[in-house]
Structure 1
Amino acid sequence: MSEGSGPSVAARDDLAGVVDLFEWLTREELSRAVSELAFKRRAEVDPDAIDAAIDAAVAEYALVRVPPEAVSTDEGAPEEAADPLAVGPAAFPSLPENAADLPHILDVPDRAVDRGTLSEAVHDRLSADAVSAMNEGDADRLETLVDVTYDVEAWTPVDASPIRERIVAELDGE
């Protein structure tokens, strides 16, 4: 992960790359994976920095929360997957150094995500985030969300144009 005052785009894409190795990971598993990578690099592990990087990746749609009913393993649906995360529409997954060893280290079963359920959840979240940003008058967030509407459409077969049009109208003061 890169250094600085906040998580970088590269850090978010590295997180997405780690998640992509498994199809989905819980937040706890992702934190453990990042800690393992830091250990392999003989670097200090800062749990707060890992949490901040995950939060930033979720906020920017590089990682997305998966509805628990949309996740499964080769052993069936997990009894309880706390906060499962998958690669989101704004990610350009990249593998950090030594990440190829993570499937052996974490020893998790093969996993799958129901893409239809995930797409619907991401579309719903995008709509809710847009309404929230409009209510707060957060133009910077709205600019980010406009970009995400295009990412979502490229990522999955959903039409985000109504959300985009509402955001653009808000930004244009209409």
Structure 2
Amino acid sequence: MADESGPSVAARDDLAGVVDLFEWLTRAELSRALSELAFKRRTEVDEAAIDAAIDRAVDEYALVPAPEGALSGDRSSLDEAAERDAEEDTALAVGPAAFPTLPDGAADLPHILDVPDRGVDREVLADAVLDRLRREAVTAMDGGDAERLETLADVTYDVEAWAPVDVDPVRTRILAEVDE
């Protein structure tokens, strides 16, 4: 079971909704979008909370790192950010565990942010998500992390509904480990 002290599922789905507006965003661009929303609402920007919300969304597969081969569109903002931390330049796309929703004011973000038209090759993204799922399952098995394995088992069902990939071998292995 996930840590309930962190950002809510609704917040996670709001993050996915913001990313969905643009097809994909870098972590830095998503953070900026959330800061713009906070400004529009006249609230304080809590960078640590934004980082925690993004981390949780990625951890729970609501947002997924997108490999370069899955991305289309102008990457000028990525090139301009080359000097920044590589993590900030990670491209994020909507993942299988998300139910994207638009937070209040988000519809204005395309007019506020200077983000070019973009696209995501879902097939390439799905293969990357399946590879990540496999790696994380092995890590959780090796570490005896039953809680993470249960989360990953749930994610296998989300992935299966989200993309035409065969997750059954991964799920079977995870469930066998959980049932031990």
Secondary structure (helix, strand or coil) at the match of 2:35 reads helix
Distance in 2, Cα, partners of 1:36 & 1:18: 11
2:167 aligned with 1:160, yes or no?
A: yes
Q: Deviations over 1:53-105 (max 9, x none)?
A: 000000000000000222111x4x65648200000000010100000000000
Q: TM-score scaled to structure 2, two decimals?
A: 0.89
State the alpha-carbon separation in 2 of the partners of residues 118 and 60 from structure 1.
Answer: 16
The C-alpha deviation readout for 1:122-173, integer Å capped at 9, x for no partner, is 0000000111111111111111111110100110000100000001100111
The answer as to 2:43 corresponding to 1:43 is yes
Structure number with the bigger relative contact order (C-alpha 8 A, sep ≥ 6) is: 2
Residue deviations 1:24-72 (CA, integer Å, cap 9, x gap): 0000000000000011111110111100100000000000000022211
Provide the rounded CA distance (Å) in 2 between the counterparts of 1:69 and 1:169: 33
Distance 1:5 1:167 in 2: 26
**Are 2:146 and 1:127 aligned?**
no
Structure 1 equivalent of residue 111 of structure 2: 104
**Structure 2, unpaired ranges of 5+:** 82-88
- Structure 1: how far apart are the matches of 2:115 and 2:137? 35
Q: State the number of aligned residues.
A: 168
Q: What is the TM-score with the length of structure 1 in the denominator?
A: 0.92
Percent of aligned positions with the same letter in both sequences? 72
In structure 1, distance between residues paired with 2:141 and 2:8: 25
One-letter amino acid of the counterpart of residue 96, structure 1: P
Tell whether 2:152 aligns with 1:149: no
- For 1:72, give the aligned amino acid: S
Verify: 1:58 aligned to 2:65, yes or no: no
| Aligned twin of 2:17 | 17
Look up the match of 2:179: 172
For structure 1, list consecutive stretches of 5 or more residues without a partner in the other structure: none
Q: Using the alignment, how far apart are the partners of 2:171 and 2:150 within structure 1?
A: 10
User: 1:147 & 1:33 partners in 2: Cα distance?
Assistant: 29
